[in-house]
A and B are shown apart, each in its own frame.
Chain A
Amino acid sequence: MQQSDIKNKNNSADISSAEKSTENSASLELRNVCRGFGDEWSREEVISDFSLSINPGELTVLVGPSGCGKTTLVNMLAGFDKPDTGQVLLNEKLITGPGMDRMVVFQETALMPWLTAYQNVVFGPKIRNDLPGRELKKKADYLFEKVGLVEFKDKYPIQLSGGMQRRAELARAMINDPLVMIMDEPFRGLDAMSRELMQEFFVRLFEENRRTNIFVTSEIDEAIFLADRLIVLSNRPTSVRKIIDIKLPRPRELNVLSSTEAYKYKRDAMELLHEEALKNFKRSTPKADS
């Protein structure tokens, strides 16, 4: 299966520009980033003095308690938002705004409902006008096959199931050959079954070309299954609590999760997350003594 895919890649050299390995990977770095919200008198630091470097070609997974500022981090990496102090760097260069070198797959589906799946996928290259029509069609067809949506090309997003929408969104991002993929809880809201299928699908996709990938989740099994490096975030103000290198063998299948190693990773991470969640809980429960 893996083999045949690789062969396939070599045969169609023009298409596989989407699939070039390692050289289209990039490193990302956050240096002493701070970000808070609110007016001067009611300011809340969400992220304070946050530093992290993300290695090229790795799948870095961020896990953290809900509301700890994961989306805020993603927004800064994507360039939708700027840090108050500190720097966000892509290949040592300062990120100043959104760009097509970093594709974001959002927490909520962001397929344009007025375009068909196909029109959504070709949206980027079409408006930038940077691919001749024939080549674009070829590339899009290839990606539709890859994400298994060939029959649903001409359907509107509303006519697709949640999992299909996520796959169409993946195709829409991949067609631009980004250096980095940033995914913010992309499988949240899917039912357990399609979530597992999507995880398996996504891990295969990643293993094929090992593009630098940031994946945010609050689901620990998902994190361990996907990650090369697992970043456990602390509660607000958010910082890196611990970095766990996940040395499970690749290519991965979902049953690695039942191995003893995976179990150990899970226990470690759970312990930390539980501590962090507990802090949050204590802070928000009313004091009993009054």
Chain B
Amino acid sequence: MTQKNPTVNIKEAPTGLALKIYNWKKSLKTLTPYLMLVGISLWLGTYYLFVEGWELPRFNKLPGPVEVITEWINPDPDWGISMFSPIYYEHIMISCRRIMIAFTIATCLGVPLGLFMGWSKTFRDYTFPILEVLRPIPILAWVPLAILMFSGFETPVIYLATLASLFVTTLNTLLGVESIDKEYFRAAKCLGSKPHHVFLHIVVPGSLPFIFTGLQISIGVAWFSLVAAEMVSGEFGLGYMIMDSYMNITYVTMVIGMLTLGFVGWVSSALVRLAGNRMMQWRVRALALEGR
């Protein structure tokens, strides 16, 4: 007991910022961040060579990376929009706001809907065929209906993003409930659970991993349909910015819009993933044990 083991050096577990720094330092020791950098440089390099270096046919009409980046950081942009122009942030903010509203509505409706569909066979028998018929209809096909139903620019756009996101969330939640092992239901019954206990303590936590996978897909789908909707109708937003610069033949601005969209989309799905990891500590540890 009193003997110290020299090889094992037990320290207090770091918390908060110290833990973040520790994890960050640890990740610098793996290959992941370096491979990521190499990947990005390879992609940028190829893009540069194809468009600006060798000026290959088909590629030579596109704006090259040097051109795009110079414009992006130009305080006095040649084509009207760079990271110094307020309108740029207005487009981003408006799209983000729409996504937030659409994603929130879709999640608040889709998750309970999916949970009930998985939990109650009767409810599922009523609703599943409808879901399966509506789900494959491409979101662009809903545009005329959305414009007929709602006035203005804002509501139809949000409606379309919500719709697309809702189907994905519902289906994934339903699959999540179905993925739960029967043994857990049996154990819960054996321990004296009433149906509402089963719902709260088995159905909900058991389907969380699928729900969060679904939410990551659903926020992507929301961006996808939002931009499509903004291209068709709208006067602001990243989709509008891309379409508008295409119409005005300002291709550099268009590419800036596309890259911004990619970046914002990536951040939003990372946020969803983060929220998921917070809510599923048990899963984080399971994955850590598997070395992922």
Contact = CB atoms under 8 A, between A and B. Distances in A.
Best-buried of A102, A103, A106, A113 by chain B (most CB within 10 Å): A113
A172 B192 CA distance: 12
Interface in A57-102: 78, 80, 97-100, 102
A102 B190 CA distance: 7
B176 to A, nearest CB: 12
B289 A110 contact: no
Interface in B146-197: 181, 183-184, 186-194, 197
B191 A158 contact: no
Interface of A: 78, 80, 97-100, 102-104, 106, 108-110, 112-116, 123-124, 127-128, 156, 158-159, 172, 176
A110 B187 contact: yes
B211 to A, nearest CB: 13
Contact of A127 (B181, B201, B286, B289): B201
Interface string B192-206: 111001000110011
Contacts of A97: 189
A216 to B, nearest CB: 15
A106 B187 CA distance: 9
A74 B217 CA distance: 42
B289 A106 contact: no
A159 B190 contact: no
Contacts of A80: 186, 189
Given A106-B187, A110-B186, A113-B282, A127 B197 contact: yes
A156 B281 CA distance: 9
Contact of A158 (B186, B187, B202, B286): B286
A156 B190 contact: no
A174 B251 CA distance: 71
B186 A114 contact: no
Interface in B268-292: 280-283, 285-286, 289
7 contacts: A103-B191, A114-B205, A114-B208, A124-B191, A127-B192, A156-B286, A158-B289
B191 A106 contact: no
Contacts of B205: 112, 114-115
A100 B286 contact: no
A78 B202 CA distance: 20
Contacts of B186: 78, 80, 98, 104, 106, 110
A127 B187 contact: no
Given A103-B190, A114-B205, A124-B191, A159 B289 contact: yes
Interface of B: 181, 183-184, 186-194, 197, 201-202, 205-206, 208, 280-283, 285-286, 289
A176 B285 CA distance: 29
A110 B191 contact: no
Nearest to B289: A158
A98 B189 CA distance: 6
B201 A123 contact: yes
A116 B286 CA distance: 12
B48 to A, nearest CB: 46
A113 B286 contact: yes
Given A110-B183, A115-B282, 17 more contacts: A98-B190, A99-B192, A110-B186, A112-B184, A112-B202, A114-B206, A114-B282, A123-B188, A124-B191, A127-B191, A127-B192, A127-B197, A127-B201, A156-B281, A158-B285, A158-B286, A172-B191
Given A114-B280, A114-B282, A127-B197, A104 B289 contact: no
B285 A110 contact: no
Nearest to B290: A158
A195 B187 CA distance: 23
Nearest to B201: A127
Nearest to A116: B282
A104 B190 contact: yes
Contacts of B189: 80, 97-98
Contact of B183 (A100, A108, A115, A116): A108
Contacts of B181: 108, 110
A226 B181 CA distance: 30
B201 A156 contact: no
A127 to B, nearest CB: 5
Contacts of A113: 282-283, 286
Contacts of A103: 190-191
A128 B201 CA distance: 13
A227 B206 CA distance: 37
Contacts of A128: 191-192
Contacts of B184: 110, 112
Q: Closest 10 interchain pairs by CB?
A: A124-B191, A110-B183, A114-B205, A110-B187, A156-B282, A158-B286, A100-B192, A98-B189, A128-B192, A127-B197
